[in-house]
Structure 1
Amino acid sequence: DAAGNAFRKADTLMGDLPQDINVYSGRVDYIHPLKKGARFEAGIKSSIVKTDNNAVYDSIQYGKIVHDFNRSNHFVYEENINAAYVNLSTTFAKKWSAQLGLRLENTNAKGTQLTTGEKFDRHYTQLFPTAYFQYKANENNNIGASFGRRVRRPSYGSLNPFIRFVDRYTYTMGNPSLKPSLSNNIELSHTWRNKITTTLNYSATTDIIDDVIEQKGEEAYKAPANIASLHQFGIAINANIPVTKWWTSNLDLNLYHNRYKGVASGTPIEFSQASLVVAGTQQFKLSKTLAGEINGRFMSGRLDGIMRVKPIGGVGAGLSQQVMKGQGTLRLTVRDIFHSVRSNTESRYGNVDFNFQQYADTRVVSLGFTYRFSKGKKIAPVKRTTGAANEEQERIGL
């Protein structure tokens, strides 16, 4: 009030939210060369994941610690995915090449909330075909076509139903009922002189995972949900052109249209919008030892699930100077020169009216120095192999 007295007694809440994730994964691949440059591949993979999440909340009431049973929880999630794949790549009719693949996945998942006794079991098997074709019309023109079915699984953290408080009136929580998103993708591409590539694409995705904002009395919370299906089509153009001997231009243009249709928080939604992304890098060779670069990126207003993101863009630049007879390099770079990279997002559906603005310190100036101790024989880079647990690490957030 005007005298500085609190309208209500302050709340004191203490929380301990340890999370233990164990991942066991193994993979075996077999590659067999065939006649005329063809190749057959096959493999199997199995992963076992167990996450143990224990949320303990206590509050202080009249100087005493009291356990908060309503907010505390103990959730254990177990998952086993077994997969097998076959892949055949070949060339035919001189100008044609193709790659056909098929992956079979069997998923078994179980979740248990030890505090409440709630459980769920999920068992399903899915097929994921892929096909790539390329036609070399002549030395200047290549045409490609591809089809693929893909899966995007929710992160382990998003499956955790625990409450995490942002402040007295705001919190976030996970959703153990999340289903994987499945997408079917088609692409047609044309490449001219390895300089300009034009791609037409279309994708249809079911069970899109996105955060939903809900109001509960005085409190608001954010939780992930399978909100909608998404149909996206667009055209992308990439051009890498040497304008002169001292100027190289790289431009990317992506024009696409998103259409979401589904249900969010019990409210039917149907949003659609066309969006444009333009990015470019201009490289200049100013002398034998001095090079410069200017880069920029602009994104028009776009839809990201139920969120409408306002336009955003930024410009950067850099200089590099070779020193010490070419063995050293000084680099000066500036990011977001005009301090224009500012996030502005809004969402309106049902009884929710949400706006989020973020102004980060994105203007960064850096000065670096690199020194090469030898200019002798180049060493071939070590070929990196894909680990068996790559997908699981991504779902953890590593």
Structure 2
Amino acid sequence: MKKLIITVPLLTGFVALAQGTQKNDSAKVQEIKEVVMTKKVFKKESDRFVYDVAASPVAKGNTAFGLLKETPLVSSTDDKTLKIAGKSNAVIYINGRVTQMDAESLVQFLKNTPAENIQKIEVITMPGSEYKVESSDGIINIVLKKKASNGLNGSLRMNNQQNYYNSTGAGLSLNYRKDKLGISTNINTSENIEEQYYILKNGNSTATNQSEGRITDPNKNLGGYLNIDYQLNDKNSLALTYNSRANRSYNSTVNLFNTTTDSVKNETDYTWTRSKEDARSYNNSANLNYELKTDSLGSKLNLNVAGLLYKRFQNSNNFTIASDQNGNDGGRLLKIYQEQPQVIHNFSATADYVQKFKKDLTVSFGGNFNKTKTDNDTKYDTYNYITNVVDPQPNHFLYDENIFGGYLTVEKVFSPKFSGKLGARYELTNSEGHSDNAQDENLRNIKRDYDKLLPYLSMNYAINDKNTISYAFSSRMRRPSFWELNPVRNILTEFNYTQNNPFVKASSVYNQELTYMYKSSYFLILSHSLTKDQITQVPLQGVIDGKNQLRYIRTNFGDKQQLSAMLGMQKTFFKGYLTSNFNIGVQRNMNNGSLNQDPLTGDIFPTYENHIASNSLLIQTNNNIRLDKNKTWFLGMNYFYVDQQQIELGQLHSLMSLDLNIKKIWDQWTFSLGLDDVLNTHKIVIEDYQQNGNYNYVNQNQYRRGVELTIVYNFGNQKVKKVRTIDSADKDIKNRTR
């Protein structure tokens, strides 16, 4: 049911400034404890913001994910994804190296990583050319504490959460260090049922559709990782990283009551949509790293090779059942059976070299190669119970993609006050897709070869000890996820479904940002983003074959601009008893797109247009209050508000949530009780009215309000040095499996 539910993946970018989108598609992550700061806990350095959390007792019992949500400029509106101000996504690095796992697994990884192991968190809003990230993605680099003691330590975490249903989770993390050998491992499991309630309306003056009911999605997850790091000598190191995740989602159900009216004929029809879906997925990846230090200044060579195998198997039965206005069944009318397997194989390799010179000059260059094959052998059979007609529509979609890339950056410190970085990345992409169900024979083979030069510039000037100003410009690409290219339908009802698109092409994103910081506590960020050929879902609505239909088409939809201004503060008051992080900003979204044709079927619809600009207010505040002198009791109060604004699907109503939590630290034990969405205000509502008379309304309740109890026990030698974390060669590919 994941990608069938259109509003979940769509409602993320526009809340980026206030909070940072998928609980049931979970994978692995590690928890991080909250942190209290001392001295300059938040400051601007060259191309990044640095949040020093090493001295904070609040970290104890928290997770990496929990701590990141309270980091200045970082937020999450769904407890599944992390956002950076003005960014659609956050790529997680650890000790300067990207995490070795897919996007969904990363969340579970962060939720199972102890926060007290963290030294500082670096937020890079505009990554340089050396970083292989896409679109407007920013980077969060988690720097772990470095301790030299040999030994074994670990932590055991258990949590129970009650929303609409109860969910449970547990994780065990171990870290071993013996001289030159380091081993770390984690295993975690969780079980949850995600419940959502929908009210969907669409139509015009002559015909209307309304669907109302529940979508229930149970999930069981098992994941883990193994990191082995061996220092051959003072200059040479080898590391192997292996990650694995399995997800099972059996008996996911849709129960929607449909009301269809025809004003011309003065007729009203009632039906039920009932469906059942079974799905399971497996994600296994490995990365081998070699690092060579070439001098005492910090120059080094890094080589990586990685392999990724992702499998997802999904089948569903979707029934349309006749009914009366009271919901009484009247017999089956239609059955749609789908099998949607997806298999992804990837091989990746990277080479990076950093040369440091004595005169504050650093030159970095490197290259990468990614080879990906996807295989999607989809079955789509329709059976009409009235006519006894079976309409099979098989589709075997194969996609091959090769990416070659290279970069060069030069960073220079001109004076103690002024520094700059200049760089460029060149990327060449060769891709070919083959689909059996293209309407036009000439479109059965979809081949694309394109290249792009992506420049980067940043400058940082310290006016004096209290005032710093910086500017950055970055250009990136946003390639479609592999599932977006697979030309299949995800059925919600017979006439309401999402449609993926193998013709989606990469979009180009241009970002610029001006930042001013005062006393390492207050900051102002002005930013502008331009996306050409924006990738999104567009609602096409009209009468096809005598029926009013609504199709959410995945496509390139014109251009989009975003202007934003954010004023923020990160400061400690009352001798450390209160730590407050507060952001307030305004955002202007400017959309410019139109579409009138289904790219797969060729069906023509009334043109859907979005040329609307909107302004919105964004507020976020995170507060940690120390309740006792011994630093054992803490109260957390977090709030966000996102004003209504125009997005690709229409006007998104305002969102807000108040979360509370109380924490008790007792020796090596930490007990935490959290209340999420206390006011029950986090509900998604979208309305869209077109000049041609069509309208579309989406009301989605994800039952965010709930209570969560977490117990963490730390054991062993807490001074054990962490294993060196490795920058996986296939880091950007993993995010596209999501």
Q: TM-score by structure 1 length?
A: 0.92
157-166 or 214-223, which deviates more: 214-223
Question: What residue number does 1:30 align with?
Answer: 353
Displacement of 1:356: 0.7
More strand by share: 1
1:362 aligns with 2:721: no
User: 1:313 offset after TM fit, Å?
Assistant: 0.5
User: Residues 13-24 of structure 1: matches in 2 within 5 Å?
Assistant: 13-24=336-347
Q: Distance in 2 between matches of 1:62 and 1:319?
A: 56
Pick 1 or 2: higher relative contact order, CA cutoff 8 A, min separation 6.
2
Match of 2:656 in 1: 313
Please tell me the residue identity of whatever aligns with 2:413.
T
3-state DSSP of counterpart to 1:386? coil
**Residues 196, 237 of structure 1: 8 Å contact kept:** yes
Kindly report which structure 2 residues correspond to 1:278-297, keeping only aligned pairs within 5 A, or say none: 278-287=619-628, 288=630, 289-297=632-640
Does the 8 Å contact 1:58/1:66 carry over to 2?
A: no
Q: CA deviation at 1:229?
A: 0.9
What is the RMSD computed on CA atoms of the aligned residues? 2.4
CA distance in 2, matches of 1:362, 1:273: 27
Q: 2:517 aligns with which of 179, 187, 191?
A: 191
**Cα gap change, 1:220 to 1:72, in 2 (>3 Å):** farther
**d(CA) in 2 for partners of 1:229 and 1:63?**
45
Cα separation, 2, equivalents of 1:180 and 1:296: 35
Per-residue deviation at 1:111?
1.4
Report the counterpart of residue 527 of structure 2 in structure 1: 201
* 1:136–1:228 CA distance, 2 compared to 1 (3 A): same
What amino acid sits opposite 1:85 in the alignment? Y
2:9 counterpart residue number = none
Contact 2:591 2:647 in 1 (8 A): no
> CA offset at residue 114 of structure 1?
3.1
Q: 1:48 and 1:65 mapped to 2: Cα distance? A: 45
- Offset of residue 77 of structure 1: 1.5
For 1:95-174, list aligned pairs within 5 A: 95-116=417-438, 117=441, 118-174=444-500
The residue type paired with residue 353 of structure 1 is Y
Q: 1:197 to 1:7 in 2, by over 3 A?
A: same
Q: Is the 8 A contact 1:58 1:65 kept in 2?
A: no
What is the identity, as a one-letter code, of the residue corresponding to 2:521? K
Counterpart of 1:91 (choices 399, 413, 438) is 413
Query: How far does the alpha carbon of each residue in 1:331-360 deviate from its partner, in whole angstroms, 9 at most, with x for none?
Result: 111111111111111223345411111112
Q: Pick which of 55-64 and 255-264 moved more.
A: 55-64
- Please give the alpha-carbon distance, in whole angstroms, between the structure 1 residues aligned to 2:715 and 2:609: 63
Q: Given the superposition, is the C-alpha separation of residues 8 and 251 from structure 1 closer, same or farther in structure 2, using an over 3 Å criterion?
A: same
Per the TM alignment, residue 261 of structure 1 is displaced from its structure 2 partner at its CA by 1.3
Change (3 A) 1:189 1:341: same
Q: Secondary structure at the match of 1:214?
A: strand
**Matched residue count:** 393
Distance 1:94 1:262, change over 3 A: same
Give 1:132 deviation, angstroms: 1.2
1:45 matched residue in structure 2: 368
Change (3 A) 1:178 1:188: same
Percent same amino acid among aligned pairs? 25
Aligned to 1:240: 570
DSSP 3-state at the match of 2:517: strand
Instruction: From 331, 343, 346, give the equivalent of 2:672.
Output: 331
Alignment correspondent of 1:78: 400
Give distance in 2, aligned partners of 1:124 and 1:60. 42
Give the drift of 1:3: 12
Counterpart CA distance in 2 for 1:7 and 1:213 is: 31
- Note the alpha carbon deviations across 1:92-137, whole angstroms, 9 max, x for none: 0331111111100111111111355512211111101111111112
Query: Which has the higher mean CA deviation after the structures are superposed, 156-165 or 80-89?
Result: 156-165
Q: Aligned equivalents of 1:95 and 1:235: distance in 2?
A: 25
Gaps spanning 5+ residues in structure 2: where? 1-323, 597-606
Is structure 2 residue 559 aligned with structure 1 residue 229? yes
C-alpha distance in structure 2 between counterparts of 1:136 and 1:153, whole Å = 37
Contact 2:333 / 2:385 at 8 angstroms: preserved in 1?
no
Alignment of 1:363-382 (within 5 A): 363-374=705-716, 378-382=719-723
CA distance in structure 2 between the aligned counterparts of 1:339 and 1:4, rounded to whole angstroms? 29
Quick one: distance in 1 between partners of 2:478 and 2:527?
19
Q: Deviations over 1:144-184 (max 9, x none)?
A: 11000011111111111122322222222111111212111
User: Distance in 2 between the 1:170 and 1:8 partners?
Assistant: 21
Partner Cα distance (1:25, 1:392) in 2: 9
For 2:627 and 2:375, the matched residues in 1 are separated by 58
Equivalent-residue separation in structure 2 for 1:194 and 1:387 (angstroms): 33
Equivalent position of 2:587 in the other structure:
256
Structure 1, unmatched stretches of 5+, are none
Deviations 1:22-57 (A, max 9, x none): 212111111111122321111111111121222223
The Cα shift of 1:385 comes to 2.9
* Structure 2 Cα separation of the partners of residues 2 and 251 of structure 1: 50
Q: Secondary structure at the match of 2:369?
A: strand
Q: Compared with structure 1, are the counterparts of its residues 58 and 193 closer, same or farther at alpha carbon in structure 2 (3 Å cutoff)?
A: same
Does the C-alpha gap of structure 1 residues 121 and 337 become closer, same or farther in structure 2, counting only changes over 3 Å? same
Q: Quick one: which amino acid aligns to residue 569 of structure 2?
A: A
Deviation at 1:264, TM superposition (A): 2.8
- CA gap of 1:83–1:351, structure 2 versus 1, over 3 A, is farther
